[in-house]
């Protein structure tokens, strides 16, 4: 504009080509533009770690909670706490937000598939198959959480289109066929160019998860199919266990050989989404890490989960902040009255901040109550966001799935026991002498804390509705599915609400 003003009448010709309408005729012409368009497909996966939605539904089964503190913070409408004590309603905003965000990403996939097929379906077959694989992943998560959900695979639908719910079995069959139809178009190499992209191994991992819970989804177990998918990944020789547990969760962890499928995060370029340090640390906890942002004294580990670990388990020390806390210079970290804090009388443990496993009352918890989450490295001088990529599919999970599947096919299988003991060895705790339902489930829990699969594990083992410290009466069986959001039911008469709601 400055140049035009300076040149005066030289810029009065308004017969210019407009580039604001990016149709298929003037966009998606080059490989660079195609790659840029694919960014929308992959960027949406960060929704999984968004504090406003999915984290509540994926991790609150018995892993973490959001206690209302003594001053009323994290309280309000009680929606945060409902996801931990299993009293949610169809109007719960986290259920609504998660549904909306997941379907928004399905729509993004539908749009990109539509555009690429219009341009040249043959030339861009690999990109189309990648996008369909990501779409199948979204439908796996939707089906897992809600069961019967609308199956929409077209972008060019009428403006007044109101989809009906498909049965869980129909969605299951769609996911299975979609992966099988597209997996051979996907890359099998592992390199910087394929990192964090949906490749052949991602597709196999989706199949493994689909088949692992097939009995829950369809009533028919598929242990052998799940095992075959796990073995396909394992036998590739492209992945291996890291020497230490910690290596998978350090900042800049993209070099881990356990990364089967990753969601990239960066504290600068993707800030404001995976801001776990802000969510979990006490108000004064910023002093421990010289954090250049406020912390909110929120998300804490549920007590039952902390007690899964033996005291000598390396994973316990990695995953949780417990006990008296210190500043970055080694001084006792003290609660303070004033900005953010609190009447110190509300801290029964005294002014020296001391994280305890016990929460007490989920709706009136002390400020220091609850172990805080340190599984992913909280760097010194961080801005409240994590610099670690999130491994949605991790090789350790694949190995533990294989162990479970071998055990289900033959409870005396020695290979299953040896696989589980690999993790016991790495964690520095005694080996198991035999496997049973209890120690298999709990070892998965210790290894895979907050990696997105605990809710499904508990349902598969029949433990989801059992009593816990924060939920002493347990919960109703119908809560193994979330309700379709009220606003969706109100807007679309073709949807069918889940039983119990």
Residue 487 to residues 18, 77, 91, 162, 420: CA-CA distances in angstroms? 38, 17, 7, 13, 44
**Rounded Cα–Cα distance for residues 356 and 282 (Å):** 12
Measured CA to CA, the distance from residue 178 to residue 207 in angstroms comes to 10
Q: Which residue numbers in the chain have pLDDT < 50? A: 1-22, 339-340
Three-state secondary-structure class, residue 362: coil
Nearest to 484 by CA among 161, 103, 137, 55: 103
User: What secondary structure letter does DSSP report for 9?
Assistant: G
Cβ-in-10-Å burial (0-12, 13-18, 19+) of 136 comes to: buried
Q: What Å distances lie between residue 370 and 49, 96, 395, CA to CA?
A: 21, 27, 30
Residue 305's nearest CA partner among 428, 429, 442 is: 442
Which CATH code for domain 31-186+471-501? 1.25.40.390
Q: At a CB cut-off of 8 Å and minimum separation 6, what does 255 contact?
A: none
**C-alpha–C-alpha distance, residues 94 and 233, integer Å:** 34
Give the list of residues 6+ apart from residue 148 with CB closer than 8 angstroms, or none. Answer: 165, 166, 167, 168, 171, 496, 498
Please report the pLDDT score of residue 17 as a whole number. Answer: 41
Token pair 């007690």: residue = 307
Residue 380 tokens read as 């010194």
Give me the pLDDT at residue 349, please. Answer: 64
Task: List the domain boundaries for the chain.
Answer: 31-186+471-501, 270-388
3-state DSSP assignment of residue 487: helix
Q: What is the DSSP code string of 39-80?
A: HHHHHGGGGGG-TTTHHHHHHTTTTEE-PPBTTSTT-TTSHH
Q: Which candidate, 487, 303, 361, places its Cα nearest to that of 78?
A: 361
Close Cβ partners of 277 (under 8 Å, ≥ 6 residues apart): 289, 291, 295, 378, 382, 384, 385, 386
Give the pLDDT of residue 30.
80
pLDDT score recorded for residue 29: 74
Strands (E), 227-371: 259-263, 300-301, 320-321, 323-324, 354-355
Residues sharing a CB contact under 8 Å with residue 74, sequence separation 6 or more, in sequence order: 66, 67, 68, 80, 296, 297, 298
pTM: 0.93
| Residue 258 CB burial class (10 angstroms; 0-12, 13-18, ≥19) | buried
Spatial separation of the C-alpha atoms in residues 189 and 150, rounded to whole Å: 34
Exposed / middle / buried, residue 63 (Cβ in 10 Å: 0-12, 13-18, 19+): buried
- DSSP string computed for 99-131: HHHHHHHHHHHHHHHHHHHHHHTTTTHHHHHHH
Residues across the chain: 501
CA distance 282 to 297: 4
Angle at the Cα of 48 from the Cα atoms of 404 and 204, rounded to 5 degrees: 40
Taking alpha carbons only, the member of 267, 272, 283 closest to residue 333 is 283
Q: Is 418 helix (H, G, I), strand (E, B) or coil?
A: helix
Plot region of 327 (φ>0 → left; ψ -120 to 50 → alpha; else → beta): beta
Distance of CA 426 to the CA centre of its chain: 24
Q: What are phi and psi of 261, to 5 degrees?
A: -145, 125
From CA 114, how far away is CA 117, in angstroms rounded?
Answer: 5
Residue 369, classed as helix, strand or coil, is strand
């Amino acid at each position: 504009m400055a140049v035009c003003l300076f040149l005066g009448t030289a810029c009065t010709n308004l017969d210019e080509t407009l580039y604001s309408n990016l149709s298929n005729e003037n966009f998606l012409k080059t490989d660079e533009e195609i790659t840029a368009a694919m960014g929308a497909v992959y960027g949406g996966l960060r929704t999984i770690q968004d504090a406003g939605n999915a984290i509540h539904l994926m991790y609150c089964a018995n892993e973490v909670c959001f206690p209302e503190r003594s001053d009323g913070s994290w309280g309000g409408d009680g929606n945060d706490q409902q996801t931990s004590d299993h009293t949610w309603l169809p109007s719960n905003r986290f259920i609504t937000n998660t549904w909306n965000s997941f379907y928004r990403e399905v729509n993004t996939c539908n749009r990109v598939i539509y555009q690429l097929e219009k341009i040249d379906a043959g030339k861009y077959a690999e990109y189309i198959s990648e996008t369909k694989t990501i779409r199948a992943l979204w439908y796996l998560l939707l089906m897992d959480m809600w069961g019967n959900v609308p199956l929409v695979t077209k972008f060019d639908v009428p403006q007044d289109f109101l989809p009906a719910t498909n049965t869980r079995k129909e969605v299951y069959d769609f996911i299975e066929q979609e992966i099988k139809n597209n997996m051979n178009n996907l890359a099998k190499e592992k390199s910087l160019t394929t990192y964090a992209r949906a490749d052949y191994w991602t597709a196999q991992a989706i199949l493994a998860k689909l088949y692992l819970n097939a009995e829950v989804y369809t009533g028919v177990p598929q242990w052998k199919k799940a095992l075959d998918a796990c073995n396909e990944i394992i036998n590739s020789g492209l992945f291996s266990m890291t020497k230490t547990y910690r290596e998978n969760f350090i900042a800049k962890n993209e070099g881990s050989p356990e990364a089967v499928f990753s969601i990239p995060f960066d504290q600068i370029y993707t800030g404001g989404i995976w801001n776990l340090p802000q969510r979990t640390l006490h108000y004064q906890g910023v002093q421990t890490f010289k954090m250049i942002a406020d912390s909110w004294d929120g998300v804490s580990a549920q007590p039952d989960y902390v007690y899964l670990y033996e005291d000598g388990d390396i994973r316990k020390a990695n995953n949780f902040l417990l006990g008296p806390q210190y500043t970055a210079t080694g001084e006792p970290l003290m609660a303070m009255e004033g900005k953010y804090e609190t009447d110190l009388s509300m801290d029964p443990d005294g002014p020296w901040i001391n994280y305890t496993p016990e929460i007490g009352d989920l709706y009136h918890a002390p400020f220091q109550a609850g172990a805080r989450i340190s599984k992913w490295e909280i760097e010194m001088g961080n801005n409240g966001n994590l610099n670690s990529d999130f491994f949605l599919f991790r090789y350790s999970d694949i190995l533990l799935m294989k162990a479970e599947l071998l055990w289900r096919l033959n409870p005396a299988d020695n290979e299953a026991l040896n696989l589980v003991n690999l993790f016991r060895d790495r964690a520095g705790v005694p080996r198991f002498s035999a496997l049973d339902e209890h120690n298999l489930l709990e070892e998965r829990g210790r290894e895979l804390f907050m990696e997105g699969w605990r809710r499904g594990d508990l349902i598969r083992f029949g433990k989801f509705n059992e009593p816990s410290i924060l939920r002493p009466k347990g919960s109703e069986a119908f809560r193994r599915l979330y309700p379709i959001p009220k606003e969706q039911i109100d807007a679309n008469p073709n949807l069918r609400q889940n039983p119990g709601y």
